[in-house]
Structure 1
Amino acid sequence: MDPRATSRASRVLAVEPVLPAHRHEQGEIAAELALLLTEPGPRRQLLHRLHANAGVRTRHLALPLAEYADLARRPDAFDAAGAVFADVGLDLAERAVKGALASAGLAPADVDVLLFTTVTGVAAPSLDALLVDRVGLRRDVVRWPGFGLGCVAGAAGIARLEDHLVGHPGQVGLLVSVELCSLTLQRSDTSVANLVASGLFGDGATAVVVAGAERAGDRPGWAVLDHVSRLLPDSTDALGFQAGSRGLRIVLSAGLPDVLHRHVGGDVAAFLAGRGEDRGVDRWAVHPGGPKVLDAVADALALPADALDVSREVLADVGNLSSSAVLHVLARTPAVVGERTLLLGVGPGVSTETVLLERV
C-alpha cells in the first residue's frame, strides 16, 4: 500500500489482554464440572471426552473452581452471577485499560470514545459507565455499550472505532471487551452444547487503543486498512445464547464449522480482491472458536499448516474468550513492520468481521 495511504489510516496503538487469577488445568475443570453437570454414566463420559478434545490445556476463571457448584445451586444464581460479573469484570477492565493506555503512551483524559462489549453479563449502567470514574476517563467521553455480537465483537469493535475515527481523525478510541463465560454455566442443562461449552470457554478481558490518523502521527501500530461485516445465510440458529430465568443458555450447533467452511473462503477472497491489489496476507489472526472452527477456516482459506498456530496457542492456553479471544490472538501476533495481518472474528448470526491491518 502507498505509504501516504497508511498515514491516513486509523491505527491500533496497543492491545492489552488480561486474565483473572484463578488458573486451572483442563482435567481439573472437567473433574469438577462432571460432578456438577452430570450423573455417573454415558453423559459424564461424554463430558470428559468433549473436554479432552476441546484443544484447551488451561483456563482462567472468574471464581475459584470450587465455588461454581455453590453458585449453580443458588436459587438466585442469575442475580449472583451478575454481581460477580460487575465486581470481577470491572477489575479486569481497569487492568486492561490502564495497561493499554500506558503502552500507547496516552492518559485516560486522552480518550474521546469508549466502545464496550460483552455477551456474558447484563447490567445497566453497563461496566463502561463505572469504568469512567475507576480509571479517570473524561466525563464527556462518548460511550457505545454493546451486547449481542458475541465472539465477533472483538474484531467488529476495532472496525466500528475505525468507522468513527475516519470522521474524527484527531480523536482516540478505546475498545474494552470483558467476557466471563464461566458465569453462564447452566447446571440444569445436560445438552451436548452445554457440555461442549463447559470445556471450551474461559474468562478474560482486553482493551484496545485506536487513534485517528492525525492523532496517531508517527506512533507504531497496526494501520486499519479496510474491513467488512458479513451475515452468513441460513445460520441464525447455529450460535448464540437464549436468555432464561436462570441466565444465558448456550446455543452451539454442530453444523457451525460447515457453515464457516461454505462461506468464509469466498467471502475473504472477495474482500481481498475488491481492494484491487495483488498484495497478500502475511499473518492470520482468527477467532479461536474451537479446533473444528479453526480447521474449517484453515481449509476454506487453503492456509498452510502453521498459519493459525497463534490462534491454536491462545485456545490451548486460555480457551475461547468470546469477544476477547481474537484480541488475545492479535496481542500475540508478531508485529513486523510492513507485514499484513487479517483479523477474522466469528459470532452469532452467524456473522463474521474481517479487518485488514498493516504494521507500521
Structure 2
Amino acid sequence: AGRPGDAAVLLSTELCSLTLQSTDSSMANLVAGALFGDGAAALVAVGRDHPLHATGAGPEVVATRSRLYPGTEHLLGWDIGHWGMRMVLGRELPDLARLHVAEEVESFLAAHDLKPADVDAWICHPGGPKILDALTDALALPESAFAASRRSLAAVGNLSSASVLHILEGVRSAGPPPGSIGLMLGFGPGFASELVLLRW
C-alpha cells in the first residue's frame, strides 16, 4: 500500500535443528526434535500499480492482524543459556489455540463480514496435530479444512515461519478459483498469532 509501484521479497529461513540438545532426554526436547524441521521459503509481493499485479499470479492481501496473548511467554519460545538454545513447548498450547486463537479468527473474519465457513483455503501453520485438531473443533470446520497443513507437517515437519509459505505454495499451485477467500494463520513465541486474509 505504501509503495504501490514496487515489489518486495519476503524471505523466511528457519534452522530449528539448532535447538536440538543431544544430552537432553526431556519429553519437550524429544517432541521438538521430532516435530520441527529446517526450512526456507520466499515470496514476491507487488503493489497495485506494479506490472505483475495485473497477472493475478497469486492472492491479494486484504487485511492482517497480529496478537500477542499476555502471560503466555512460558508456553512457546526458547530457553537460552550456556548450553545453547532449548525449545520451550507448553502442554497447554492446544487449549490456548482452542480458546483464544479460534476466538481471534472468528473476530477477524467478522470484521470483514465473513465466518469460518466462508473460507475456501486455510493456510494454517502446522503447530502440531493437536493444535490442528483443536482449531478444527473450535471453528466447527470439516476435517479437510487443514488438509494442506497436515500434508506439509507429514512431509517436512513444522518449519516454523517458513511453514505457511510452504503451505501457501501448495494451495496456490492447486489454483483456487477467482474470488476464493483464504486465511493464513501463523503461531509464534509469546504465544502469538498472525492472521492474513487473502483473496484470489
TM-score by length of structure 1 reads 0.52
2:40 to 205, 215, 230: 205
Provide the rounded CA distance (Å) in 1 between the counterparts of 2:49 and 2:141: 36
Provide the rounded CA distance (Å) in 2 between the counterparts of 1:287 and 1:218: 29
What are structure 2's unaligned runs of at least 5 residues? none
Deviation per CA, 1:138-186, whole angstroms, max 9, x where unpaired?
xxxxxxxxxxxxxxxxxxxxxxxxxxxx111111111111112122211
Count of residues in correspondence between the two structures: 194
> What residue in structure 2 maps to residue 339 of structure 1?
180
Would you identify which runs of 4 or more consecutive aligned residues in structure 1 move more than 6 Å?
none
Aligned-residue offset at 1:277: 5.3
Q: Percent identity?
A: 49
1:201-280, aligned counterparts within 5 Å? 201-215=36-50, 216-220=52-56, 221-276=58-113, 280=118
Structure-2 change in CA distance of 1:320 and 1:242 (3 Å): same
**Alignment of 1:306 onto 2:154:** no
Provide the rounded CA distance (Å) in 2 between the counterparts of 1:342 and 1:169: 23
CA RMSD of aligned residues (A): 1.5
> What residue in structure 2 maps to residue 178 of structure 1?
13
Aligned-residue offset at 1:292: 0.6
Aligned-residue offset at 1:338: 1.8
- Name the SS for the 1:306 alignment partner: helix
Deviation per CA, 1:189-243, whole angstroms, max 9, x where unpaired?
2221101011111111101110111114312111001111111233111001111
**Alignment of 1:193 onto 2:20:** no
What are structure 1's unaligned runs of at least 5 residues? 1-165
**Alignment of 1:286 onto 2:121:** no
Provide the rounded CA distance (Å) in 1 between the counterparts of 2:113 and 2:141: 21
**Alignment of 1:297 onto 2:132:** no
Deviation per CA, 1:321-348, whole angstroms, max 9, x where unpaired?
1111111111111322221110000111
Q: Which amino acid aligns with 1:302?
A: A
Provide the rounded CA distance (Å) in 1 between the counterparts of 2:193 and 2:155: 24
The 8 Å contact of residues 179 and 204 in structure 1, kept in 2 or not, is answered as: yes
The 8 Å contact of residues 346 and 352 in structure 1, kept in 2 or not, is answered as: yes
Structure with higher helix content: 1
Provide the rounded CA distance (Å) in 2 between the counterparts of 1:272 and 1:295: 20
> What residue in structure 2 maps to residue 326 of structure 1?
164
State which structure, 1 or 2, has the greater radius of gyration over its C-alpha atoms.
1
- Higher relative contact order at CA 8 Å, sep ≥6: structure 1 or structure 2? 2
Provide the rounded CA distance (Å) in 2 between the counterparts of 1:348 and 1:234: 12
Provide the rounded CA distance (Å) in 2 between the counterparts of 1:276 and 1:306: 23
